[in-house]
Amino acid sequence: ALETATLPVDRAIVAAKEAVGGRALVEQVLLRSDFGRLFYELKLRVEGVATTLLLDAMNGERLSPISPDLAPVIAQQYVRTPATVTAVELERYTPRKKKRAQDAVRVRFNDADATEIVLDRQTGEILEDEGRWRRVHFAVMQLHQLNFFGFEKTLLNIPGVPILLMSLSGGALWLLHRARVRRSRAAMRVRDQPLVTARSAGEPKEVPPLS
């Protein structure tokens, strides 16, 4: 519904560039309707660094970074039952599938599940839904994966290393044993073979063993 936007696209692009200092490459412009607002989502690259900027498509208001007043409006969409906001906190948050922390805003609710919604402060996208039962589920999953204290699978790898070394050393001992058995059998065959004299005039004859 581009025709419903009061702010033209070209003015939105100019406003976005001014917001980040003027020197930016606009890679994509999207018109979105969410949390009761019509806004532009502009994906920019500033000095090689990708960033996202939200601008109200009606009045040009800059919506990102997400303010503590706007965050509860966005987060309320992800709460299953009506609930009251108990706290809004700005923080550096590291998503479970990423290794780098980013600016985020956490909104806490007083519903039965004690829901906590974590939003990307720049885009408003949800990063995590940390309800009480979700936290229990996550803890159980970590237990099954032996993944604690940010060590990922280190606790699983620690006992795995000596087991691997034992397997390798056992294989090496088995190969040495096989080689020793083969040498022993070969020596026995050589010892049991009859001695033959050099050919003269006639068939070779067996030489009796020395007594």
pLDDT tens for each residue of 108-163: 999 989 999 999 999 999 999 987 655 554 445 555 555 555 555 555 555 656 67
Q: Which of 73-77, 105-109, 166-170, 199-203 has the lowest mean pLDDT?
A: 199-203
Q: What span, in angstroms and rounded, lies between the C-alpha atoms of 31 and 190?
A: 90
Q: Provide DSSP, 140-196.
A: HHHHHHT--TT-TTHHHHHHHHHHHHHHHHHHHHHHHHHHHHHHHHHHHHHHHSPPB
Burial class, 143, CB count within 10 angstroms (exposed 0-12 / middle 13-18 / buried 19+): exposed
Between 8 and 155, name the one with better pLDDT. 8
Cα–Cα distances (Å) from 166 to 146, 157, 159, 160, in that order, read 22, 14, 11, 10
Q: What is the pLDDT of residue 197?
A: 47
pLDDT reading at 198 higher than 50: no
How many C-beta atoms surround the C-beta of residue 55 within 10 A?
23
How many Cα neighbours within 13 Å face the side chain of 189?
A: 6
Q: What is the DSSP letter of 82?
A: -
Q: What is the pLDDT of residue 176?
A: 77
Q: Which of 86-95, 151-160, 180-189 has the lowest mean pLDDT?
A: 151-160
Q: pLDDT, tens digit, for every residue of 18-55?
A: 998 868 899 999 999 999 999 999 999 998 899 999 99
Q: What span, in angstroms and rounded, lies between the C-alpha atoms of 45 and 23?
A: 9
CA dihedral over 67, 88, 34, 41, signed as positive or negative: positive
Q: Over the chain, what is the mean pLDDT?
A: 80
Assign 182 a pLDDT band (cuts: 50, 70, 90).
confident
Domain boundaries, the chain: 2-56, 70-145, 150-187
Q: What span, in angstroms and rounded, lies between the C-alpha atoms of 127 and 32?
A: 19
Separation of first and last alpha carbons in the chain: 113
Show the tokens assigned to 187: 């020596």
Type of residue at 11: R
Q: What is the pLDDT of residue 94?
A: 92
